[in-house]
Amino acid sequence: MSKTARALVLVAPLVGLTLFAPPAGADSHNDPSRHGHEVLAHLEPIPGSGVHGSGHAEVEFDEKGRIDEFEVAAHGLLADQPHAAHVHFGETARNECPTLMDDTSGDGRLTTTEGAPAYGPVMLSLTTEGDTSPESVLAIDRYDTATEGTINYERDGLFETADGVAEAIADGKGVVVIHGVDYNGSGAYDGEAMSDLNPALPAEATDPAMCGVLEDH
């Protein structure tokens, strides 16, 4: 594990809480009519990220309207580095992917914080094993590594979410965000700019790379 990856694991509890939802509990707003329902997202590069690729995400719901299967496939990411991925949703967010209009610093790049008004806080962490709550937002040892720039994430089983979150995702309000960029083309998470989530980390490790809204198709 690289120094950056180790740092991400160690500082996860220090991340600003305003960007992330409370710990997940069982979603009490289940809708049996969602059984077999699917929502899909087309993933596109975040403006200013320097990413050249695309992808898709797919969510399936069980007979109680709970998320029980999640797939993400994407290419064109920084190769052979871990990429945190989440589902965002916020009651007051626009529930869409950010644009450079959200770049409040004017540097032509979007941080996770700058994108938050568009996609909202983290509600689901797309880890490969274990906890999937917002508490695992930077559990980088449990996120996919982009082998040769490609991620193929598949996970079955119940994804517990906070009240109303599965329903919001089924209604087309969930936003998938993959993080991790390479502004300077070095092939690693480095550079002078530091992360808005924790100044001990390079911005490249946490800035958003790809985004897509989960919708009926």
Per-residue pLDDT of the chain (217 residues; tens, 9 = 90+): 555 555 554 444 434 434 655 544 444 444 544 556 899 999 999 999 999 999 999 999 999 999 999 999 999 999 999 999 999 999 999 999 999 999 999 999 999 999 999 999 999 999 999 999 999 998 989 999 999 999 999 999 999 888 899 999 999 999 999 999 999 999 999 999 999 988 888 999 999 999 999 998 7
Task: Give 21's strand partners.
Answer: none
SS (H, E, C) 169-197: HHCCCCEEEEECCCCCCCCCCCCCCECCC
Q: Which CATH class is domain 3-213?
A: mainly beta
What H or E segment, with its residue span, contains residue 43?
Answer: strand 38-45
Of 189, 209, 83, which is closest to residue 141 (Cα–Cα)? 83
User: What gap in Å lies between CA 152 and CA 146, rounded to an integer?
Assistant: 8
User: What gap in Å lies between CA 178 and CA 188, rounded to an integer?
Assistant: 16
User: What gap in Å lies between CA 139 and CA 132, rounded to an integer?
Assistant: 10
In this structure, what token pair is assigned to residue 127?
């880890």
Helix or strand or coil: residue 57? Answer: strand
CB 182 within 8 A of CB 207: no
pLDDT at 190: 97
Domain edges within the chain: 3-213
pLDDT at 9: 47
Of 153, 165, 200, which is closest to residue 61 (Cα–Cα)? 165
pTM here is 0.87
Per-residue burial over 189-207, b = 16 or more CB atoms within 10 Å of its CB, e = otherwise: bbeeeebbbbeebbbbbbb
User: What gap in Å lies between CA 201 and CA 121, rounded to an integer?
Assistant: 20
Spatial CB neighbours of 17, under 8 Å, sequence gap ≥ 6: none
Type of residue found at 87: V
